[in-house]
Amino acid sequence: MASARVSGRVHVISSCVLVILMVGPGRADTLPSTQFVLKQSDVKILGLQPDEASGIAVSRKHKDVVYSFNDSGGKNRIYAINATSGRSLGVFTFGNFTPYDMEDIAVAPCTSGSADSCIYLADTGYQNYAPPPRNTIYRVKEPATLGDQNLAIHGELKFTWAEPNCDTMLVDPQGIVYVISSKVGGHGVMGKLPNSGWTSGDQRVKPERTVVTSAVASFTPPNPDWFNEGPTGADISSDGKEMLIRTYEQVLYWYVPDGDYLTAASNQTGRPVTSHPEPQGEGVAWTPDGKGYYTTSEGLHPYIYYFEREDRPIVG
């Protein structure tokens, strides 16, 4: 993707720390705080790879470890990185092929109720419109140890839709995959992929349902020919109740206690939360405990920013 220039200030969004939601007669639920503060701003990815980090995901097995990969032209590699030092902790090779245009990564349960966590990778991007995107999600089991190693592909989910480009993938606590296309004007089409796609072989599935998201980029790229003005990354919290969708310019937050992410994304306007300017920010990921999130950008030696939640109330 082309590079974007942004201002050098931290986008701090002030919000009420305590929000009360009435659910039924006489019952009040306290919503999570949506006030986050920048806690880490001096950590760079130290190795030469990845140099086109189009996404970031946080390990469920290893403390302070994040995973990333390279965008178009990258190999079948996952890079394990210490999130607090930026040092490489290993390179995972998956499969025996060259991806076309990897665009996002997530860590979530392999299946509903599974104790195993999997790394999901989305080969869903385009390169100058031809050939068309592969629209394939790969799933590998997260390894118990770090270091260079080969990982077997645990599943492939192939899908088809009318959208020509997709930069964004989310996976919920049941292992259900969602994708969001890129659209001129900042909107994206969000689709929920059926789990039957993991076992359909070469047969491609269609999203069970699609909606136009309400996520709109406030940033206007300097080049009007840019295709990607919309969502560049997203993640669902490990408890399934919170969703982040990012653009080049901002990170947006949704509270989704019922797990209906499509309805939330189409009917609710995301709340902007704190972010830091990045040259081409495409990665965002919750920590497993839900206390904060990381962001990162494409480019050589990008920063790994960490934002921590302040005064999180207890939901109840």
pLDDT 10s digits, 15-52 = 443 343 333 444 446 789 999 999 999 999 998 889 88
pLDDT at 3 exceeding the cut of 90: no
Predicted pLDDT of residue 240: 98
Residues 153-176 have a mean pLDDT of: 94
Predicted pLDDT of residue 129: 60
pLDDT one-digit tens code per residue, 55-84: 999 999 999 999 999 987 778 999 999 999
**8 Å CB contact between 280 and 296:** no
Burial class (CB within 10 angstroms; exposed 0-12, middle 13-18, buried 19+) of 12: middle
pLDDT at 5 exceeding the cut of 50: no
pLDDT one-digit tens code per residue, 233-273: 999 999 999 999 998 889 999 999 999 999 999 999 899 99
For the chain, the domains span 19-309
Name the architecture of domain 19-309.
5 Propeller (2.115)
Predicted pLDDT of residue 120: 98
pLDDT at 128 exceeding the cut of 80: no
Predicted pLDDT of residue 9: 59
| Nearest by Cα to 298 from 79, 54, 125 | 54
pLDDT one-digit tens code per residue, 197-235: 998 777 899 999 999 888 765 545 444 444 446 789 999
Distance of CA 198 to the CA centre of its chain: 20
pLDDT at 188 exceeding the cut of 70: yes
Burial class (CB within 10 angstroms; exposed 0-12, middle 13-18, buried 19+) of 200: middle
Question: Residues in the chain, how many?
Answer: 316
**8 Å CB contact between 303 and 296:** yes
